[in-house]
Amino acid sequence: MSAIKKVVLAYSGGLDTSVIVKWLQDHYQCEIVTFTADLGQGEEVEPARAKAEAMGVKEIYIEDLREEFVRDFVFPMFRANTVYEGEYLLGTSIARPLIAKRLIEIANETGADAISHGATGKGNDQVRFELGAYALKPGVKVIAPWREWDLTSRETLMAYAKERNIPIDFNKAGKKSPYSMDANLLHISYEGGVLEDTWTEHEEDMWRWTVSPEKAPDTATYLELTYERGDIVAINGERMSPATVLTYLNKVGGENGIGRLDLVENRYVGMKSRGCYETPGGTIMLKGHRAIESITLDREVAHLKDELMPKYASLIYNGYWWSPERLMLQTMIDASQDNVNGIVRLKLYKGNVIVTGRKSDSSLFDTRISTFEDDGGAYDQKDAEGFIKLNALRMRIAANNGRKLLK
């Protein structure tokens, strides 16, 4: 008899996690609690309830987490201008700590002994789910079926489902998608299929949220983003909730061919992986945030943020959202945003996000000093001579010592 009496499963209602429900029941003889999160993936989540009920699940959680996702995870990440390996806006990575958090909270509410997920043993998600779970509940048992069972393909999963009368649409499940996909309000990712050949161009009909830049409108779209403490609170003067902001930017960005990315990235487990991403709203958010910071942040604060960002990005990518070092960095990042207030005007045109204006009551841009016209004595240009000589002092000393830079 298994020591595991109850398991909380991150459940999508698809083939893999439906098989996992039955496999857990067969293998562990335990009670299952399913948790299905609506993170803005664009698919109806309520049908998961009927499927879970058909397999005898009594405790079913289906939750709309879109506002919490953007407010407490996406927005804090964008305050840091976070980009992994120079390109990736971390759409999949940032969703995992929220799912891990709810898995643990539901386990505590229901008295479950363990949690379970459908991530494979090759990817990053297993690390992200489990690091988060252990940080929030150190003694929790984690069951990762892909690391335990002998079901190794879609065909063996379907055979298992048919043998045990698991309620799935076999016609739909049998139509193998050429891509492994993940979607939420921040992005859609595509992996597998032709993308496994790094020389093969991605297929145009793969993309779901964005038109190609070639087919985008010939007329530019202008946006005005209003920021308060580093977060967008209004678009074109209309105040919006965090999830509504991102939903709107996804729509307008997608219509203008913005946010496509073809990337080979380094997974935490050690392998390289090619993925394509659609992040229209996030691409706009990054451009806008850097623009408002350009006039409101002190130079050294801005430069320090840029130095810290790659570390912060790696922590999120590798699953350390709940680590003390990420929380420490977040405190620093959030403190830097106290004066990041104002409005940025952007032009969207055929895949491009172009900054055309920025203004703020907290602006450090002083026209009296920076002007090319007569500054009325606001800046004494003679001061530059001593500034330059002092900064050159160490190099002058070295040269006088005979150290040659030119061979």
* pLDDT tens-digit readout, 278-326: 999 999 999 999 999 999 999 999 999 999 999 999 999 999 999 999 9
Torsion angles phi and psi, residue 277, rounded to 5 = -135, 145
Rounded Cα–Cα distance for residues 79 and 240 (Å): 18
Per-residue pLDDT, 165: 85
Q: Which residues contact 172 (CB under 8 A, 6 or more apart)?
A: none
Please list the ranges in the chain whose pLDDT falls under 50.
1
Per-residue pLDDT, 1: 47
**Three-class HEC string of 107-157:** HHHHCCCEEECCCCCCCCHHHHHHHHHHHHCCCCEEECHHHCCCCCCHHHH
CATH number of the 182-297+339-359 domain: 3.90.1260.10
Does the domain made of 6-176 have the CATH classification 3.40.50.620?
Answer: yes
- Which amino acid, 190? Y
Question: What's the predicted TM-score (pTM) here?
Answer: 0.94
Active-site residue identified among 18, 38, 93, 96 = 96
Annotation says 334 is catalytic: no
pLDDT in tens, 210-223: 999 999 999 999 99
Active-site residue identified among 49, 72, 180, 363 = 180
Rounded Cα–Cα distance for residues 292 and 117 (Å): 39
Burial label for 391, CB within 10 Å (0-12, 13-18, 19+), is exposed
Annotation says 231 is catalytic: no
Residue (of 293, 250, 301, 327) closest to 89 by Cα position = 250
Beta bridge partners of 61: 35
Active-site residue identified among 16, 38, 113, 182 = 16
Annotation says 180 is catalytic: yes
Question: Integer distance in angstroms from the first to the last C-alpha of the chain?
Answer: 78
Per-residue pLDDT, 173: 55
Q: Domain segments of the chain: what residues?
A: 6-176, 182-297+339-359
Active-site residue identified among 38, 125, 182, 231 = 125
Place of tokens 């120079």: 86
Annotation says 16 is catalytic: yes
Residue (of 64, 4, 327, 275) closest to 185 by Cα position = 64
